[in-house]
A and B are shown apart, each in its own frame.
Chain A
Amino acid sequence: MKPLQGTLLAFAVAGHAAAADKAVQETNDYYQRPLEQLLRVETQAKAAVGSRGGARDALDAEVPIDIITAAQLQSTGQTELLRALAVLVPGFNAPRPSITDGTDHAPPFTLRGLSPDQVLVLVNGKRLHQSSLLHNNGTVGRGSSGVDLNTIPLRAIERVEVLRDGAAAQYGSDAIAGIINIILKGYGQNSQATVTYGRTGEGDGITRQATLFHSLPLAGDGFVNLSAEWRDRGATNRAGPDAADGGRINTHFGDADTQDGLFAVNAELPRGDATLYLHGLYDQRRSSAGAFYRSAGDARNIAAIYPDGFLPRIEPKILDFSATAGVRGVLDDGARWDLSYTHGHNDYHFYVNNSLNTSLGLATPTSFDSGATRYTQQILNADVSKKIGPHTVAGGYEFRQERYRIVKGDPASYMLGAADNSAYGAQGFPGFSPDNAVSAGRQAHSLYGDLKYAVSDRLMLDAAARGEHYSDFGSALNGKLALRYRATDDLLFRSSVSTGFRAPSLSQSHFSYTGTYRNSNDAAAQFWGNFAVDHPVARALGATDLKPEKSRHFTLGMVFQPSSQLTASADVFITEIRDRILPTGYISAYSLSSLSPQAAAVLAQNNIDGAVYFTNAIATRTRGLDLRLDYCQELDNGARLKLVGAYQRSRTRITDVNQAPDVLGVNMTDLILDPFTRVLIEGSQPADAIKLWSKYSQDIYDVVLNLNRFGKFYSVSAYDRVSFAAKWTVDGEISVRLKKDLTLALGGVNLLDVKPDKWGRTDDSLVGTGKVIQYSQYAPFGYNGAYYYVRVGVDF
């Protein structure tokens, strides 16, 4: 052996021995402590996501996983899961869109700058259905349907596992940017009731929340946990005065006025080596937000009805529920099995009030049922896993059935009457017409396998493969290879390569939303709008069945844990996605100057002014970096100090553009990639984020202080890219235990009342400095400013 090799070997052995000594030393230290103190030791968080071999230490996983605890969620002061995760998870982006139709009431979220439908959400490891709402306005996530996280009561959650890697080879479609696995409170929980009251610094956005979590223990350490929550979040309004309306503030630009009634159940009933389990979520939401204001003299107004103009109110009723029932167990040879059925449903019903259908004249109603979108998902799942020595073999089968429906509104909500040629349907949100109504479904079968092979105590290989067959687009086969090498007991390296996919959502394939107008009183009605890809008009304009988006992933990282108090991790990642699905631009003879005569003839023959449909359009590459530092110190006075620092950076670039359909005679860049869409994909989400989270806990009080940096982002005004500077915000909470079971918390979000940059000078009549809309709705922390709250909690 050469001297260098000998030296390295000596270092390796010495390093190993030193690390082992340290582990024993730490254990010896525990051995000397009083029992009461041992019960206060906080162990490392476990994560079940990304592994079919059971939960393991998140830090010891082959892939980067963040764990958000119930205490962290509560200490954010947020009453909604969406907002709490935006505070705690770097790279989790949840802007506050406004005047965006349905999106106001079920805002989207993204991970790592990708799209809302490129995140898989699980509840207790089972797939949660997406909302039926298709984000169809100019918001982050335009053209996608995502999960509505606010349908989950915050107090029902024990922890949230955020896997920062592609995992479609294990979980199937959607797991491209990552996975959010929400673990509901399970065994051994205290019952708790809380009441929260909060408001913004400007006095609006009054939030009232009452929660009840009750745990009923059953025999054999089973349990039934019930959560109920009522949440009333008042509207905020940051609209500016309308100079064209005498300086009145006539528009609503801010959070919707939203009331949620939520319920959750999580239960386990052990019977010998089997456990029956059930979990369910239910949310009924009423919400109200404005459309754009119609002034008194607006052609869309009927002055006899609204002499001063009117602000249409879009007021949907949303019903969302899901339930999973199953049984899992262990065989005599140690093999574990799990059979389950999941049913999820979302009904997004649009109602429009304080409005009118101009084309109906004075006979118009002022309230409308504009129809609904509905989505139902059913899943049968069978999993089996077995540990063979240090190795784990797992596999399973999944059957998924989906159905998407559009339900027409009442006739007055969509019709074009005789009194006006252009202002059809309910102002604010015209209803879905009978032409738009659809009921479309599909089925998917999946087979998957996972092998976790321990090459040694220090080197672990994880190989996974998943084959799927969808009844609409066909098959997909994906694989993953992950490696975890523990160089020393302090230092771990991890890397993974994988492929993934996202099945085109049924809403993207079948969404249809068209309107009508007439050129003159006796002319045939002209149609315009979004056509489903299988609509004859869309077909004639080159639309094809949507293909899945396909992705490739690479991560490389390390975890350094010099002591049980301190952990540092760094991970870099690359995600490449091709055939990303986007809506086309407006296909019309006047908006596309080079539109082919053939396409123009299709439009003319079908009385179409212009059309939009979804298509596989572009390829992107996202590169990024995640840094994280966790520190926990037990102090001599019995107090505990926890510090978490996290930095996330991701940057998405368009790398390729698919060929546009020949029939259109235009290229895909002209068809889709206008400046707005390019900025939406590449720049609308903050390029980086910093989270500094700290908590000091004493016997009778906790103090939490969070420092957040939201990175720079871009938006577009009149084809020009506009940048908005990064901002720092500070959140804080002090929580005092008044009695053993009674806690009072006072806190503030964005204590320094920081607002995002305003739009600069623009030529737009509504958007810009001193105009009605002064902030970009891409702003990652919204534009409400400071928010203060008080919370009282009782354990029982």
Chain B
Amino acid sequence: MRIGWWGLGLLLCLQFPSAQAGDEERKLEAVFIGRFASYIEWPAKPRDRFVITLLDDNPFGSLLDDLYRDKRIHNKPIELRYATRLDQVGETDALFITLSSSAARAAAIDHAQRNGILTISEAKGFAESGGIIQLDFVEQKARIKINHAAALKSGLRIGAPLLSIASVLRGDKL
């Protein structure tokens, strides 16, 4: 009987991961990834799925899978992939980068630009260093910074509704 109680306690403590109820920043980030993508046009690709890849740590738990399980972007079902290294990133439409090293981020940005991939990150200086969309949270509210030149270089066209609510870098910082 005692073993049963211990087992129950252990199960209660070690329940399978889920997104935290209160982490609004993560929820918004998860939502923004797909919502951004819906305002962006990619060069025609022969894939029948819209692929979102998370590079490095996954701060979302199961939230992305739960959210995008029944969603469609550009009328395609969504496939989520998780990579810990750049060489694990295969063909993808959007890349959410959580790498902590600026050199590693720069390599990921370079890879993305060469392959027409939308890059998103919350790293400071991301947009200035050639990333396409930078998500910031200032005083508990989200802010969007877009490097429009980087998007054009990647062959992506960003819709006016998204540009209109973002801080847009139009210089030559690619």
Complexed CA–CA distance, A71 and B161 (Å): 29
Interface: B79 (CB within 8 A): no
Q: How far is the CA of A617 from the CA of B90 in the complex (A)?
A: 70
Contact among B1, B67, B102 with A272 in the assembled complex (CB-CB below 8 Å): B102
Q: How far is the CA of A2 from the CA of B162 in the complex (A)?
A: 57
Instruction: Chain A residues near B14: list those with CB within 8 A.
Output: 455-459
Q: Does A486 contact B (CB under 8 A)?
A: yes
Report the minimum CB–CB distance from B66 to chain A (whole Å).
4
Bound CA span A44–B128, Å: 27
Partner of B17, one of A5, A457, A485: A457
User: Is A524 located at the chain interface by the 8 A CB criterion?
Assistant: no
Contact at B11–A187, with CB atoms within 8 Å? Answer: no
Q: In the complex, what residues of B have CB within 8 A of residue A40's CB?
A: 141
Contact indicator per residue, chain B 128-172, by CB within 8 Å of chain A (1) or not (0):
110000001111111110000000000000000110010000000
Cβ 8 A contact of B21, one of A35, A334, A489: A489
Given contacts A70-B139, A458-B13, contact A31 B125 (CB under 8 A): no
The interface residues of chain B lying within 8 Å CB-to-CB of A567 are 22
Asked whether, in the complex, the Cβ of B28 is within 8 Å of the Cβ of A489, the reply is no
State in angstroms the CA–CA spacing of A251 and B31 once bound together: 64
In the complex, chain B residues whose CB is within 8 Å of the CB of A489: 18-22
Query: How far does the Cβ of B123 sit from chain A's closest Cβ, in whole Å?
Result: 9
Residues 1-28 of chain B, each 1 if its beta carbon lies under 8 Å from chain A, else 0: 1001101100111111111111111011
Give the chain B neighbours of A417 by CB distance below 8 A.
none
Complex-state Cα separation, A5 to B1, whole angstroms:
9
Minimum CB distance partner of A390 in chain B = B17
Q: Are A42 and B128 in contact (CB under 8 A)?
A: no
- A269→B116 CA distance, assembly (Å): 31
B25 interface neighbour in A9, A43, A70, A334, Cβ under 8 Å? A43
Given A35-B35, A70-B139, A564:B125 Cβ within 8 A: no
User: How far, in whole Å, are A489 and B61 apart by their CA atoms in the complex?
Assistant: 13
CB distance from A268 to the nearest CB of B (A): 9
Q: What residue in chain B is nearest A488 (Cβ atoms)?
A: B21
- Is B85 an interface residue when CB atoms closer than 8 A count as contact? no
- Cβ–Cβ contact A330 & B100, under 8 A: yes
- Chain A residues near B12: list those with CB within 8 A: 12, 458, 487
Min C-beta distance of B106 to chain A, whole Å = 10
Chain B nearest CB, measured from A405 CB (Å): 41
- Decide if A420 is an interface residue (CB 8 Å cutoff): no
Whether B128 contacts A19 by the Cβ 8 Å rule is: no
Is chain B's binding surface mostly helix, strand, loop or mixed?
Answer: mixed
Taking a contact as CB atoms under 8 Å apart, the answer to whether A31 and B34 are in contact is yes
A69, CB-defined interface residue at 8 Å: yes
The answer on a CB contact under 8 Å between A39 and B63 is: no
A40: nearest chain-B partner, CB-CB? B141
Decide if A31 touches B67 in the complex (CB within 8 Å).
yes
Given contacts A8-B8, A39-B165, contact A44 B31 (CB under 8 A): no
Contact B103 A35 (CB under 8 A): no
B40 contacts chain A at the CB level, 8 A cutoff = no
* Structural contact, A31 and B31, CB atoms closer than 8 A: yes
- Is the beta-carbon distance between A564 and B24 smaller than 8 angstroms? yes
A457 touches B23 (CB 8 A): no
Task: Encode A209-251 as 1/0 by CB contact (under 8 A) with B.
Answer: 0000000000111000000000000000000000000000000
Instruction: Report A550-595 residues with CB < 8 Å from chain B CB.
Output: 561, 564, 567
Q: Are B31 and A23 in contact (CB under 8 A)?
A: no
Q: How far is the CA of A13 from the CA of B11 in the complex (A)?
A: 9
Whether B19 and A41, one on each chain, are in contact in the complex, defined by CB atoms closer than 8 angstroms, is no
Residues of A within 8 A of B74 (CB): none
- Is A519 in the interface zone, CB < 8 Å from B? no
Instruction: Specify which chain A residues have a CB less than 8 angstroms from the CB of B17 in the assembled complex.
Output: 457
**Which residues on B sit within 8 Å (CB–CB) of A69?**
139-140
C-alpha gap A296/B165 in the complex (Å):
72
Write the B21-65 contact mask toward A (1 if CB under 8 angstroms, else 0): 111110110111011000100000000000000000100011100
B118 to chain A, nearest CB (A): 16
| Interface status of A30 (Cβ within 8 A of chain B) | yes
Q: Is the CB of A561 within 8 A of B21?
A: yes
CB distance from A412 to the nearest CB of B (A): 54
A487 to chain B: which residues have CB within 8 Å?
12
| Bound Cα distance A71, B138 (Å) | 13
The docked-state distance in angstroms from the alpha carbon of A60 to that of B142 is 20
User: What is the CA–CA distance of A486 and B5 in the complex, to the nearest angstrom?
Assistant: 19
The verdict on A332 contacting chain B, using a C-beta distance below 8 Å, is yes
Determine if B141 and A42 form an interchain contact, defined as CB atoms under 8 angstroms apart: yes
Q: Which residues of B sit under 8 angstroms from A520, Cβ to Cβ? A: none
Residues from chain A with Cβ under 8 Å of B13 in the complex:
455-456, 458-459, 485
Assuming the contacts A42-B140, A220-B124, A220-B129, asked whether A23 and B28 have C-beta atoms less than 8 A apart, the reply is no
A490 touches B140 (CB 8 A): no
Which residues of chain A have C-beta atoms less than 8 A from B27's C-beta?
Answer: 23, 26-27, 30
A224 CB to closest chain B CB, in angstroms?
A: 15
Given contacts A23-B19, A489-B20, A561-B22, is CB(A158)–CB(B31) below 8 Å?
Answer: no
A485 to chain B: which residues have CB within 8 Å?
A: 13
Is A189's CB under 8 angstroms from B125's CB?
A: no
Closest CB of chain B to A688's CB: distance in Å? 28
Check if B101 is an interface residue, CB within 8 A of chain A.
yes
A23 x B162 contact (CB < 8 A): no
Contacts of A57 in B (CB 8 A): 20, 22-23
A272 touches B103 (CB 8 A): yes
Contacting B18 at CB < 8 Å: which of A20, A31, A159, A187? A20
Q: What chain B residues lie within 8 Å of A39 (beta carbons)?
A: 141-144, 165
Task: Chain A residues near B71: list those with CB within 8 A.
Answer: 31
Is the CB–CB distance between A60 and B20 below 8 Å?
A: yes
Say yes or no: is A636 at the interface (Cβ < 8 Å to chain B): no
Q: How far is the CB of A765 from chain B (nearest CB, A)?
A: 54
Across the interface, do B143 and A20 meet the contact criterion of CB distance under 8 Å? Answer: no
In the complex, whether A1 has a CB less than 8 A from a CB of chain B is yes
- Beyond the given A5-B7, A35-B161, could you list 18 further A-B residue pairs with CB under 8 A, ordered by the A residue number? A5-B4, A16-B15, A24-B19, A30-B27, A38-B35, A42-B141, A43-B24, A43-B28, A44-B23, A57-B23, A59-B22, A220-B125, A272-B102, A273-B101, A456-B15, A459-B14, A487-B12, A489-B19
**Can you list 5 residue pairs at the A/B interface with Cβ under 8 Å?**
A35-B35, A41-B24, A187-B138, A273-B101, A332-B104
